[in-house]
Amino acid sequence: MKKVMKGLSNAITVLLFLLVILMAVLVISSKASGGEPQILGYQLKNVLSGSMEPTFKTGSIIAVKPAGDKTRFQKNDVITYMEDEQKIVTHRVIDVVKRGDHVMYQTKGDNNEHPDSNLILSENVVGEYTGFSIPYIGYFIDFAKSKAGTAALLIGPGVLLLLYSAISIFKALKEIEHATKRRDENQGPEKTA
């Protein structure tokens, strides 16, 4: 039983330590990129509206790989593009329009009735949706980007690790105390001559 508890204790310690490292990487990556975090060359984008449901839901994060050749996209590809200087959108290509040397895309959200009002210049394409999404994590990343979230995610797991360590030390001291007490009881009182 003691071996199981020790193994569980070690597993929790490692898990909390890895959580601290993961949170630090996410927060630092998010701050360094000035926006969404990047992992292994993929950008993680928050889904802020339901325009692409059921493909991905509001509050999800999606993995977007950099566009590369921005003129290569075809009908049914899901692209991420700059709608204006402040807004990034991920919608499906429903038509490719070529005018001279320019390639433009007509896009539409899967959950929208009508296509987007403006054609998207290929130069404004940021990336392509990879098909990878995790529901509800986008809410967490939005929180992580705030000042309070950054503090909580960097300090919180560290505090949990310290509390867990304090509890482990307290339990170890209690065990030592009980072992000492049992040893003293087994030896019995000393006899005097």
Q: What is the CATH number of the domain that holds 101?
A: 2.10.109.10
pLDDT on residue 30: 61
Look at residue 64 and tell me whether its pLDDT is greater than 70: yes
* Residue percentage of the chain with pLDDT more than 70: 88
Number of domains in the chain: 2
Q: Is 193 contained in some domain?
A: no
If you average pLDDT over residues 89-104, what whole number do you get?
92
As a whole number of angstroms, the distance between CA 16 and CA 122 comes to 44
Look at residue 151 and tell me whether its pLDDT is greater than 60: yes
pLDDT on residue 84: 84
Tell whether 39 and 122 lie within a shared domain.
yes
**Could you give the residue numbers annotated as active site?**
49
Tell whether 124 and 62 lie within a shared domain.
yes
For the chain, what is the mean pLDDT? 82
If you average pLDDT over residues 130-147, what whole number do you get?
80
pLDDT bracket for residue 107 (50, 70, 90): very high
If you average pLDDT over residues 137-152, what whole number do you get?
77
Closest among 66, 127, 71 to 102, alpha carbons compared: 71
Look at residue 121 and tell me whether its pLDDT is greater than 70: yes
What is the pTM for the complete model shown?
0.61
Is residue 116 within 8 A of residue 97, CB to CB? The reply is no
Tell whether 119 and 179 lie within a shared domain.
no
pLDDT bracket for residue 15 (50, 70, 90): confident
Q: Which residue would you say has higher pLDDT here, 6 or 51?
A: 51
Tell whether 14 and 56 lie within a shared domain.
no
Tell whether 55 and 98 lie within a shared domain.
yes
Range of the domain at 122: 35-145
Tell whether 63 and 124 lie within a shared domain.
yes
pLDDT on residue 134: 83
Look at residue 138 and tell me whether its pLDDT is greater than 80: no
Tell whether 66 and 141 lie within a shared domain.
yes
Q: Is 192 contained in some domain?
A: no
Look at residue 36 and tell me whether its pLDDT is greater than 80: no
Tell whether 123 and 76 lie within a shared domain.
yes
Tell whether 86 and 163 lie within a shared domain.
no
Tell whether 126 and 152 lie within a shared domain.
no
Look at residue 37 and tell me whether its pLDDT is greater than 80: no
pLDDT on residue 183: 82
As a whole number of angstroms, the distance between CA 163 and CA 159 comes to 6
Look at residue 96 and tell me whether its pLDDT is greater than 80: yes
Per DSSP (E only), the strands in the chain are 38-39, 42-46, 61-66, 78-82, 88-99, 102-108, 120-121, 125-134
